[in-house]
Amino acid sequence: MKIAVMGGDGFIGWPTSLHLSDAGHEIHILDNLSRRWIDTELGVQSLTPMDSIQERTRIWHAETGRRIHFNLIDLAKDYELLKKWLAEHRPDAIVHFAEQRAAPYSMKSDRHKNYTVNNNVSATHNLLNALVELNLDAHLVHLGTMGVYGYSTVGAAIPEGYLPVGIETADGRTVNQDILYPANPGSIYHMTKCLDQLLFQFYAKNDGLRITDLHQGIVWGTHTEQTRRHEQIINRFDYDGDYGTVLNRFLIQAAIGYPLTVHGTGGQTRAFIHIQDSVRCIELALKNPPPRNARVEIFNQMTETHRVRDLAEMIAKLSGAEIIRLPNPRKEAPENDLIVKNDKFLDLGLAPITLQAGLLSEIVDVARKYAYRVDRSRVPAVSAWTKDLAATINHDP
Ligand code: USQ
């Protein structure tokens, strides 16, 4: 297939591009390189040294003989350019990662809230709009988030996107209907993914677009089979308080002798998936498009759930790191249970990589290898969800 990877320079976009290229697909990355600009804005850098996208694709070609094409296009701002590119190339499928993906970054200030909403919603809408305008029947696979469901403590398993409900009619009958699971975002970033869901629902219904939305959990790990092949095509690894996700942060903290920063009691339960499984799921989704005029296909892209404090304890045991409980800068339930259905990917053959001690220690080794690049002052999470919470933040645990 000819596949356009929107946001193909990012943490999941890059390994996905390599994985799909390796599988024989023709890959075109469209990216505005915003993630690199945000590194500059925040004064942080990936733990792993990253080459330019042009250099990365050059090395991939030298290693494998395969070409990955790069196009500097901003989906949110350059609608005409995007439309022109799509009209010329008419890809069979599009993978859409081109959104600002960090919840703490989206909550930093009013400017960051505006940026996240404008960027994410416009990027998604521009893409859908262009597909219709060009009469382009490309399968759109979007990277969504488990966070659209929220983390309430109902105790029932979260279905894959749709909730069956029985609605009582005026004449006393019960009509069964599937509705989108009620959206319950916990940050501005997560809210934009909820808005995406409505855009997808409308365009699937109105224009018959073929859309798959992947509700992904927190990704851990850094390498995939392809990113291991050469030092210069290594994946990025974020550890800072805005972009670092919890498990990867704990791993780097353990490697540099920094106490593991548990927010609150650490009773938050979240869904996780390894980066290698993430790219496999995207390939599985691409191979199984919904028919035209069907409803949006939704998968829960996660393989296991863990409580934050249990992860901290697991890593502390492995590495001898200390654990510190910090005031939580986020407005979130201090404790929650989480049961998630993920049968659809398992039925398609996904064999999950689990958090075994061996794998964790391998990542600790990656963290140790590049520990010299860590700026300890960028480890604390200082972006607060409300002005009141901002006053409680501990900047130097
Ligand atoms: N947490 C800590 N200590 C830390 C960092 C985080 O206790 O040092 C806690 C947070 O308070 C939160 C949980 O760990 O309860 C998860 O935080 P996270 O930063 O790992 O994940 P999150 O902000 O939810 O966002 C990440 C990705 C996002 C993706 C989402 C999937 O950045 O792109 O959509 O995971 S999910 O969480 O399932 O919505």
Q: What is the pLDDT of residues 1-11, one digit of tens each?
A: 999 999 999 99
Q: Which residue has the higher pLDDT, 357 or 117?
A: 117
Which 3-state string (H, E, C) describes 153-208?
CCCCCECCCEEEEEEECCCCCEEEEEEECCCCCCCHHHHHHHHHHHHHHHHHHHHC
Joined together, the tokens standing for residue 250 give 């704990």
pLDDT in tens, 159-208: 999 999 999 999 999 999 999 999 999 999 999 999 999 999 999 999 99
State the distance from the centre of ligand 1 to the C-alpha of 330, rounded, in angstroms: 10
Asked if residue 384 is part of any domain, the answer here is yes
Determine which residue's CA is closest to atom 39 belonging to ligand 1: 147
The answer to pTM > 0.90 is yes
In a domain, 397, yes or no: no
Q: By the 8 A CB rule, do 14 and 54 touch?
A: no
Q: Find the residues whose C-beta lies inside 6 A of ligand 1.
A: 101-103, 145-147, 217-218, 245-246, 249, 261-263, 266, 268, 270-271, 308, 328, 330, 332, 381
Q: Which of 213, 308, 383 to mutate to test the pocket of ligand 1 (most atoms within 8 A of CB)?
A: 308
Q: What share of the chain is helix, strand, coil (3-state, %, to 5)?
A: 40, 20, 40
Ligand 1 centroid vs 119 CA: distance in angstroms? 20
Are 87 and 4 contacting, i.e. CB atoms less than 8 angstroms apart?
A: no
Domain with 320, as residue range(s), is 2-390
Regarding an ipTM greater than 0.95, the answer is yes
Any catalytic annotation for residue 354? no
283 domain-assigned = yes
The percentage of the chain sitting over the pLDDT mark of 70, rounded to a whole number, equals 97
Structural domain includes residue 396: no
Residue 26 in domain: yes
Amino acid 55: pLDDT: 98
CA 246 to ligand 1 center in whole angstroms: 6
Residue 293 maps to which CATH number? 3.40.50.720
Structural domain total, the chain: 1
Residue 287 annotated among the catalytic residues of the structure: no
